[in-house]
Amino acid sequence: QGKFVLGICNGFQMLTEMGLLPGALVRNRDLHFICDRVPVKVERTDLHWTTAYHPGEIITLPIAHGEGRYYADADTLKALEDNGQVLFRYATVSGEIETTGNPNGSLNNIAGICDTTGKILGMMPHPERAADPMLGNIDGMRLFQSLLKTFEDC
């Protein structure tokens, strides 16, 4: 119906299980639950979700999951990359996309993807838990501000 859909953590899992987003979320690489704040690189800033960020910006978002490792077959990964559907990647503090910055073993360090329309977003990190100055982090608030601006501009 052309509406915006956001799936965070288990919501991302549901979007993949319903077939609204490609791939799957499987057990973390080390098979342990992870609860931490991690650096995430913003890959695209031209979509409704990310206009308040800067290209390549490193933000810090909380994660809390046992099944957060993004998995997809090689053809799906290639399509995601070719179509620019990867919006967020796990990274090092300096912004490098490498194993040391990947907390759960997600393929291609994927932390969040969208569908081909850009209206459905699934991500494992929790932007809603980084949206209040009293909690010491507002990096996630800009995701919601970006979407709000879309509606204000209509």
Q: Catalytic residue positions?
A: 9, 126, 128
147 Cβ partners below 8 Å, 6+ apart?
4, 6, 48, 49
**Quick check: helix, strand or coil at residue 57?**
coil
13 Cβ partners below 8 Å, 6+ apart?
7, 24, 25, 67
Beta strand segments in 9-124, E: 24-26, 34-42, 58-65, 69-71, 86-90, 110-114, 120-123
